[in-house]
């Protein structure tokens, strides 16, 4: 007797994908000149063709955003801006299933996650920021805080629509207008969001979306009409942006890479810890900048934890992202799969022990089985470099101080997790960890009210919460307007 779950695929009939897309500039779609294909990474099926934005497209978008800022958006009261944000949030909820299916098709992540996590959080971000729009003067952000004008926003492929929401919602709430570039491999939900802006009758030019690759992003960063950059992506690109704006007065928030330490003390609640480890590294195929990619476990319980982790990993359902029972979907691109393979090979070569459960992977599309490396030390590259895939490096420690030292011994400092049933130990550890986000007895929990961002090479500034608003506002003192 076995309980095989029959296929339960979510229907894709709810989405209609056009064969070709242009840019969204000044409230309407304008045809692009060059196009590149966007594919479903689970099947390699070409879904559509996306415009490759050049400097002139970016220029048009910035001009539209400037005009919208001067003529319309900056003239509206916070209350009026809030109305548009509430409207967008409601439309996103109404069209949630459509967005979830489209995101899963374009990104490869499981429908369970787009349906239960990505899209609900997207709507939550718009609702949350809608509420702030008319309260900025009273938020402790200085006297009469003012927007910068046009914000240039560049987002990654791991949470395409969620990262759009993290960027667009606070920008609009604070009275900025936006030129946004989605990631090259995942533009479709941003383009559907453009339709939502039309449906919400958002004034033309307040949100502009230019699709393209790194060169398009560079054109946004270097455009003189842009006063504020918000970037989420790799540390390498983040450093390039920092150099590019070094001699300008552009403000920037950068959300970059991470190598999150998930620290397990010997008094941890074992079963929930194992769940937390799985959620920390296998959520979203490990394509998470704050993933708990380093498991730092107390030596005295390491064996038990690893054994239970392996049993649990054998239950992870890898396969069709549209199937409602899939836990681990496809790797987003061939390029990323190559990178994961390369770094995993490094792990093998460095002498770490690789383990994956038995699972059948499709020949088509990009797949990588959930993997753990045990016997990893600080001197291993897989303990230092971000793999950005479903690969966990397991290290051990003997004393609490050693755990903290190892966790902090990284150029990154984005996230960390603490597992212990002892409250005082949790407080002590969280005070000594150098990470922007620290979870205790949970992992990968997000909320629009909670600021998110990193220490060290994990980035500049915070997104979300009141801190996130401040990044889009000059306060009275800075402008000298007091």
Partner 1 sequence: MSFYGLVDGSEKSLIHFLDQLSGVDQVGAEARAAMLATRSIKTSSKKWAIETAISMVDLTTLEGADTPGKVRALCSKAVRPDPTDPTVPSVGAICVYNDMVEIARTHLDAIGGKHVPVAAVSTAFPSGRASMEVKIQDTQDAINAGAAEIDMVIDRGAFLAGKYGLVFDEIVKIREVCGDKAHLKVIFETGELVTYDNVRKASYLAMLAGADFIKTSTGKVAPAATPPVVLVMLEAVRDFYSMTKRRIGVKPAGGIRTTKDAIKQLVLVNETAGPEWLTPNLFRIGASALLNDLLMQRMKMSDGYYASPNYVTID
Site residues for partner 1 per CB under 8 A: 1-8, 112, 116, 267-273, 275-276, 315, 324-325, 421, 441-442
Task: Specify the 3-state DSSP secondary structure of 214.
Answer: helix
Distance CA(295)–CA(240), nearest Å, equals: 30
Distance CA(349)–CA(33), nearest Å, equals: 46
CB of 299 to partner 1, least distance (A): 17
CB of 235 to partner 1, least distance (A): 31
CB of 157 to partner 1, least distance (A): 25
Distance CA(306)–CA(401), nearest Å, equals: 22
Which of the residues are catalytic? Answer: 255, 289
CB of 275 to partner 1, least distance (A): 5
| Closest CB to partner 1 among residues 113, 463 | 113
| Closest CB to partner 1 among residues 185, 273 | 273
Sign of the dihedral through C-alpha 332, 434, 273, 305: positive
Distance CA(388)–CA(281), nearest Å, equals: 9
| Closest CB to partner 1 among residues 11, 247 | 11
Distance CA(24)–CA(58), nearest Å, equals: 11
| Closest CB to partner 1 among residues 100, 180 | 100
CB 266 within 8 A of CB 300: yes
CB 188 within 8 A of CB 211: no
Task: Specify the 3-state DSSP secondary structure of 358.
Answer: coil
Distance CA(450)–CA(453), nearest Å, equals: 10
| Closest CB to partner 1 among residues 298, 344 | 298
CB of 315 to partner 1, least distance (A): 5
| Closest CB to partner 1 among residues 276, 468 | 276
CB atoms within 10 A of CB 139: 13
Distance CA(399)–CA(94), nearest Å, equals: 51
CB of 425 to partner 1, least distance (A): 13
| Closest CB to partner 1 among residues 30, 270 | 270
| Closest CB to partner 1 among residues 112, 228 | 112
Q: What is the dihedral of CA 349, 353, 354, 355, to 10 degrees?
A: 170
Distance CA(452)–CA(450), nearest Å, equals: 6
CB of 308 to partner 1, least distance (A): 9
Task: Specify the 3-state DSSP secondary structure of 99.
Answer: helix
Distance CA(364)–CA(137), nearest Å, equals: 54
Distance CA(23)–CA(343), nearest Å, equals: 36
The DSSP 8-state label assigned to residue 156 in this structure reads -
CB 399 within 8 A of CB 296: no
Distance CA(126)–CA(147), nearest Å, equals: 18
Calculate Rg over the CA atoms of the chain: 22
CB of 297 to partner 1, least distance (A): 13
| Closest CB to partner 1 among residues 8, 345 | 8
CB of 429 to partner 1, least distance (A): 16
CB 276 within 8 A of CB 443: yes
Residues paired with 397 in a beta bridge:
298
Q: Which helix (H) or strand (E) holds 296?
A: strand 294-298
The DSSP 8-state label assigned to residue 8 in this structure reads -
As given in the structure block, the two tokens for residue 265 are: 């003390």
Count how many residues are written for the chain. Answer: 482
CA 92 vs. chain centroid, Å, equals 18
């Amino acid at each position: 007797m076995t309980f095989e779950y029959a296929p339960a695929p979510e229907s894709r009939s709810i989405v209609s994908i056009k064969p070709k897309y242009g840019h969204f500039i000044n409230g309407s779609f304008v045809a692009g000149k060059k196009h590149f294909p966007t594919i479903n990474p689970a099947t390699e099926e070409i879904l559509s063709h996306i415009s490759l934005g050049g400097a002139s497209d970016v220029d048009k978008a910035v001009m539209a955003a400037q005009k919208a800022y001067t003529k319309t958006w900056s003239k509206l009261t916070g209350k009026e801006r809030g109305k548009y944000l509430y409207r967008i949030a409601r439309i996103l909820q109404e069209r949630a299933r459509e967005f979830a299916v489209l995101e899963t098709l374009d990104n490869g992540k499981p429908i369970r996650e787009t349906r239960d996590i990505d899209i609900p959080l997207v709507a939550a971000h718009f609702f949350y920021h809608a509420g702030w729009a008319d309260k900025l003067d009273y938020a402790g952000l200085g006297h009469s805080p003012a927007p910068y004008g046009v914000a240039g926003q560049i987002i990654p492929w791991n949470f395409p629509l969620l990262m759009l929401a993290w960027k667009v919602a606070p920008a609009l709430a604070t009275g900025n207008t936006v030129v946004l570039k989605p990631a090259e491999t995942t533009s479709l939900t941003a383009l559907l969001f453009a339709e939502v802006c039309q449906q919400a009758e958002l004034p033309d030019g307040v949100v502009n979306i230019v699709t393209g690759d790194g060169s398009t992003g560079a054109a946004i960063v270097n455009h003189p009409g842009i006063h504020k950059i918000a970037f989420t992506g790799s540390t390498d690109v983040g450093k390039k942006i920092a150099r590019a704006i070094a001699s300008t007065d552009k403000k920037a928030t950068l959300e970059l890479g991470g190598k999150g330490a998930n620290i397990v003390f010997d008094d941890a609640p074992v079963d929930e810890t194992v769940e937390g480890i799985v959620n920390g590294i296998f959520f979203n195929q490990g394509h998470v900048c704050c993933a708990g990619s380093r498991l730092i476990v107390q030596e005295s319980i390491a064996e038990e934890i690893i054994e239970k982790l392996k049993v649990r990993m054998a239950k992870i359902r890898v396969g069709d992202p549209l199937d409602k029972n899939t836990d681990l979907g496809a790797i987003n691109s061939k390029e990323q799969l190559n990178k994961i393979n390369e770094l995993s090979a490094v792990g093998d070569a460095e002498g770490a022990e690789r383990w994956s459960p038995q699972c059948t992977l499709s020949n088509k599309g990009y797949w990588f089985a959930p993997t753990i490396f045990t016997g990893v030390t600080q001197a291993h590259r897989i303990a230092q470099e971000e793999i950005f895939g479903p690969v966990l490096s397991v290290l051990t420690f003997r004393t609490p101080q050693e755990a903290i030292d190892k966790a902090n011994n990284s150029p990154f400092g984005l996230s960390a997790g603490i597992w212990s049933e002892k409250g005082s130990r949790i407080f002590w550890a969280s005070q000594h960890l150098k990470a922007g986000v620290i979870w205790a007895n949970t992992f990968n929990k997000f909320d629009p009210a909670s600021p998110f961002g990193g220490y060290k090479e994990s980035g500049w500034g915070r997104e979300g919460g009141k801190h996130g608003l401040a990044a889009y506002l000059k306060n009275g003192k800075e402008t000298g307007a007091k």
